[in-house]
Amino acid sequence: MNPSASGWINKFGHLVSDNVAPYDDFFGLYKDLKINGFIYGVHLNIPTFLEVEHSLSEDEIAKINLLTALYFTYTFEKGKTDFTKFVDTVFAFYQSLNIGSISFLQKILSGSKTEDQLEKLIDSRIYLSGNTFNRAFGNSLTNSLLYVDVLIFMTYVKAKKSVVQHAQLLEYVTINIAYNALNAKEGHENDEKLIQLLGSSLSFLDLDTAKFDGSYRNLLKTDFNDYEKRYFMDMACLTIWEDKSLDYTESDYIFGLGTDLGMTQKEVKKELEFVMDFFEKNREKIVYLNDKNLAVQFYEGMSKNVSKLILRNSKRLKKELVESRELVALLSKSTVKDLSAEEKKKVQNQLLDIFKSIPSLAIFMLPGGAVLLPIFIKLIPKLLPSAFDDNRIEEK
């Protein structure tokens, strides 16, 4: 499965339908998403039941985890169902939030099927900002509040509340908790990066009009379910994790918040220990914790993307050449005897693949071709031959 190419959602559907359910309940899903960094807004790993051939970039991991979370949230509430119905539900959900509009150009590039449109929509949810050029080089930060989408989707599937209003409420409380947790710390200059990142990730709330007067705490006991309360606590722990210790002001805030959320001191301490251990292990992998200037970040993003592209394509080029040898053998056979219907179809498909490979290989030969190819792949996913298609589903 390749989340950077067309057809990856359809491929995901086939993979999850072929696997035994990996989670017993929503809390099992939540734990896995937290271990993989998704809850904290960092994207390090994907669920182990999903196998991929190549190493994934941060945005690709985010896409897979978001779709995984939405899919199992849906099945826990509705039961396992036709994957197409799930896709239609997710697309309708995003449209109800007024973030599902897709431009005419995007429709042309993605096709008219709902799966194709949802791929573009999820892509737009992953990135905070940046144009196609920046995204092609991995130079855009990913949305740190993607899990809020999952919580809102749960409300949508249950059909209990206005999803737009609840989305605004979730973001309002989340940013307030992070802001107040930060202000409970002494010497919190480095952590301000996190607040800036969270503020940039707001989709339903205008940060300029948000109130930080503490009134959000009156909402905690009555307006949210247990899943949302656990997320609020994890966001508070995330904000104060860095110094690995609690002074009295931090302690008052975090344990007072725990009381408001109906959690015991033991439960709060457990969440603090988890987040500290997580960031201690993964500190070097988390972008916003590294003090690098924009030029260095751009170069590293570009280098990683091009290196990833070349590594993936080396095996595929070899595969394409092997398939070409088979084509030569079939063409030679056709000079002495008629080919079967299956052999004729194979010749036709492989000839089409060779024709497709000519422009993509020509790009590599141009000056700076390795830099240009990621942009072409983003814009024209079908440019590459079938050996390059990680999302192809073989017909049985």
Cβ–Cβ under 8 Å, residues 236 and 257? yes
Q: Is the dihedral of CA 157, 159, 165, 166 positive or negative?
A: negative
In the structure, what pLDDT confidence band is assigned to residue 134 with cuts at 50, 70 and 90? very low
Q: Which pLDDT does position 352 carry in this prediction?
A: 63
Q: What is the pLDDT of residues 96-126, one digit of tens each?
A: 887 755 554 454 445 557 888 888 888 888 8
Structure tokens at 307: 């290196």
Backbone angles phi, psi at 307, to 5 degrees: -60, -45
Structure tokens at 361: 């290989």
Q: What is the pLDDT of residues 294-329, one digit of tens each?
A: 444 444 444 454 445 445 555 555 565 565 667 667
Domains of the chain: 8-147 (no CATH), 161-289 (1.10.3680), 294-388 (no CATH)
In 3D space, the residue among 46, 179, 155 whose CA is nearest the CA of residue 96 turns out to be 155
* Rg over CA atoms, the chain: 24
161, exposed or middle or buried, with CB in 10 Å at 0-12, 13-18, 19+? Answer: middle
Hunting for tokens 């449209």 — which residue is that? 95
Q: What is the pLDDT of residues 335-374, one digit of tens each?
A: 777 788 888 888 777 766 654 554 555 555 455 555 555 5
Residue 183 has pLDDT above 70, yes or no: yes
pLDDT, mean over the chain: 75
Q: Per mean pLDDT, which range of 56-60, 149-153, 173-177 is the poorest? A: 56-60
- The whole-model pTM stands at 0.72
- Amino acid letter, residue 241: W
Residue 137 has pLDDT above 80, yes or no: no
Residues 6+ apart with CB under 8 A from 55: 308, 311
Residue 233 has pLDDT above 50, yes or no: yes
Q: Which pLDDT does position 359 carry in this prediction?
A: 52
Q: Is the dihedral of CA 347, 349, 353, 355 positive or negative?
A: positive
Q: What is the pLDDT of residues 235-288, one digit of tens each?
A: 998 888 765 666 767 888 899 999 999 999 999 999 999 988 998 888 777 765
Residue, of 58 and 288, whose pLDDT is higher: 58
254, exposed or middle or buried, with CB in 10 Å at 0-12, 13-18, 19+? Answer: buried
Q: Which pLDDT does position 328 carry in this prediction?
A: 67
